[in-house]
A and B are shown apart, each in its own frame.
Chain A
Amino acid sequence: MTRLNDKYMDIDAAIARIEDGASIMVGGFGSPGTPFALLDALLEQGQRRLTLIKNDANESDIGIGKLIGAGRVDRLITSHIGLNRVAIEEMNAGRLTVEIHPQGLLAEKIRCAGAGHFGFLTDIGLGTEIGEGRREIDFDGKTWAVEPAIHADVALVHADLADRYGNLVYRGTAINFNPLMAMAAERVIAQAFAVKAPGGLVPEQIHTPCAFVSQIVQVDPATSEQGRRAHAI
């Protein structure tokens, strides 16, 4: 585990430790909470054969969409890729392996890894095509499907505020998968719009305690792509 006082670093130094073939959890639901700056640094540095775990595939020209378009992703574990035309084409052409999970199961599988559990038992998806291939067990007179936790080498998360120890505070619907992934990976790299000195955050309001976070980088909200593609109802 990274020492408390060694976590705050330059974005390129943080991303440079990611290797080819890494499995990487990426926060975000659509644009909010997607760590765009960390993903751009990953695109720049050229790591290949990646497995990404993200709720969705962003849109084709932002976020993980750029990595998929550049042929850098072999496998995507997700709940929905409908807004990314390129990801659908890559999947249909057999160049991208896509593993679909119902969104709540995906979240819980990641949460379970972060909580140090093997997995959980669920009745979600029993009797449907998407639930096929799972091991089922009878317990207390009911049938349950076994859902193992999802682990990863690295998590890339976006927070609103942080301190240099790596305590994180999220905001609005940018919370989504970020606090779950921030507990589930071997190494957690967080970007935040502001990184304060220790003591600069209210202890009771911290969502992710710094014990889970390996590296923290500060990014400029003005250069962020987040929310760019939202629309009015």
Chain B
Amino acid sequence: MPSDQQRILARAAREITAGQIVNLGIGLPTRLFHYLPPDLEVLVHSENGVLGCQLIDNGAEADPEMIDSGGAYIGTRPGASVFDSALSFAMIRRRRVGITFMGAFEVDRQGNLANWKIPGKFSPGIGGAMELAQKVERLVVLCSHNDKHGNPKILEHCRLPLTAPRCVSLIITEKAAMRVTHSGLEVVDIAEDLSVDALRAATGAELIIDESRLGRF
């Protein structure tokens, strides 16, 4: 039985296809590295200035001047490049990064995303999240379906300050994969052991569910 995080990551890895330029956000999304087949030709962008990050080989010594944006030691794969921070964000604003994965405090039915600030509680800054959210064509949110108090993170309308409006393409939680469409949140896949009613009960937004086409994961 996979853990919730393993389930999210395994499902998320299916969104990455050969030839893509991929950005992995800090935290859970960075762990997608472990789910990419070694022979898959993708370049992982890290906003501190690398295109073509990869995991360091087991046992290899880390280069102290090579980290990703989350502060982890990284290596580079063939075809990689390194560059300054202005260029790194030019790459993002010019929409050369095809897909990005990031966490969320809240995400809503319109694809609005809040993941940088909880007023009065948590405001460490926004880092590169705003440009990525606004400019990367495909933004996949990876998060737990509910917060630690059991409240839904997927809502009709975000209440927290937005990272960017209408930016999310797909939401993957341990309970479901949900596509943001013009008509609302469409459930693509539901967790293997979960009923449609249980999913609706755990969600703070209306869901579009066609049980005849529902995938399991």
Q: Do A and B bind each other?
A: yes
Interfacial residues, chain A to chain B (CB-CB below 8 A): 29-33, 55-56, 78-83, 88, 98, 100, 102-105, 107-108, 110-111, 123-125, 127-130, 160, 171-180, 226-233
Report the Cα distance A232→B85, complex, angstroms. 22
Find the B residue at minimum CB distance from A33: B65
28 contacts between A and B (CB under 8 A): A29-B48, A29-B67, A31-B71, A32-B48, A32-B65, A80-B124, A82-B124, A100-B125, A104-B47, A107-B86, A111-B86, A124-B130, A124-B134, A128-B165, A129-B117, A172-B63, A172-B65, A173-B82, A174-B65, A176-B85, A177-B84, A180-B84, A180-B86, A227-B62, A231-B73, A233-B33, A233-B55, A233-B72
Q: Are A103 and B124 in contact (CB under 8 A)?
A: no
Does B69 interact with chain A (Cβ within 8 Å)?
yes
19 extra A-B contacts, CB within 8 A, seeds A31-B64, A32-B48, A227-B73? A32-B66, A83-B71, A100-B125, A102-B130, A103-B47, A104-B47, A107-B85, A107-B88, A108-B89, A125-B134, A128-B163, A129-B162, A173-B46, A173-B82, A176-B49, A179-B84, A180-B86, A227-B62, A230-B73
| Residue B30, interface by CB 8 Å | yes
- Contact yes or no, A172 B89, CB < 8 A: no
> Do A229 and B71 contact each other (CB < 8 Å), given the known contacts A29-B48, A125-B130?
yes
B70 / chain A contacts, CB cutoff of 8 Å: 233
User: How far apart sit A194 and B186, CA to CA, in the bound complex (Å)?
Assistant: 58
Residues of B near A173 (CB, < 8 A) are 46, 48-50, 65-68, 82
Which residues on B sit within 8 Å (CB–CB) of A33? 65
Q: How far is the CA of A160 from the CA of B128 in the complex (A)?
A: 25
**Chain B residues numbered 70-129 whose CB sits less than 8 Å from any CB in chain A:** 70-74, 82-86, 88-89, 92-93, 116-117, 123-129
Distance A124 CA – B68 CA, assembled complex (angstroms): 23
> Are A29 and B89 neighbours in the complex by a CB distance under 8 Å?
no
Are B126 and A29 neighbours in the complex by a CB distance under 8 Å?
A: no
Q: Is the interface of B mostly helix, strand, loop or mixed?
A: loop
Q: In whole angstroms, how far apart are the Cα atoms of A192 and B66 in the complex?
A: 17
Which residues of the partner chain A approach B125 to less than 8 Å between Cβ atoms? 56, 78-82, 98, 100
Nearest chain-A residue to B127 (Cβ)? A80
Known contacts A32-B67, A178-B84; A128 and B128 CB within 8 A of each other: no
Q: Which 7 A-B pairs have the closest CB atoms?
A: A227-B64, A104-B89, A82-B124, A80-B125, A172-B65, A107-B85, A102-B130
Closest residue of A by beta carbon distance from B34: A233
* CB contact between B69 and one of A29, A102, A104, A111 (< 8 Å): that residue: A29
Contact B126 A102 (CB under 8 A): yes
